[in-house]
A and B are shown apart, each in its own frame.
Chain A
Amino acid sequence: MEAKIERIKYSARLMMGLSGLMAVLMLIGCFACIAEAVINREFAVQAAKSAGNAADCAFYAATAFTALRLLGNIVSMGTPFGEKNDKLIKAIGIITLIQGFASPAVRASLLGILHADVTYTSNSALLFTGMIILFIAKIFSYGQILQQESDETL
Chain B
Amino acid sequence: MKEKCKRACTIASVILMLYLIVPCITFTAAAVTGFIKGWNDAADEMPSDPIWMVFLGLIMSLVLIAVYIVPIVTAIRLLLGVRKADSPFTELNGKRIGTIGICFMLMEPLDFLYSGIFHADWSVENFGGLAFSAGLVLYCISLIFRYGCELQQESDETL
Contacts and interface: CB of A to CB of B under 8 A. Distances in A.
A123 interface: no
Given A135-B12, A153-B158, A143 B151 contact: yes
Nearest to B22: A124
Contact of B152 (A4, A18, A141, A146): A146
A72 B146 CA distance: 20
A8 B8 contact: no
In which size bucket is the chain B interface? 20 to 34
B141 A142 contact: no
A18 B89 contact: no
A115 interface: no
Nearest to B147: A4
A81 B150 CA distance: 13
Nearest to A4: B147
Interface in B79-106: 82, 87-89
A1 interface: yes
A137 B5 CA distance: 10
Given A138-B8, A142-B88, A18 B148 contact: no
B61 interface: no
Contacts of A121: none
A57 interface: no
B143 interface: yes
Interface in A119-154: 128, 131-132, 134-136, 138-139, 141-143, 145-147, 149-150, 153
A80 interface: yes
Nearest to B140: A11
B77 interface: no
7 contacts: A1-B150, A11-B136, A18-B136, A80-B147, A81-B148, A138-B4, A146-B155
Interface of A: 1, 4-5, 7-8, 11-12, 14-15, 18, 22, 79-81, 128, 131-132, 134-136, 138-139, 141-143, 145-147, 149-150, 153
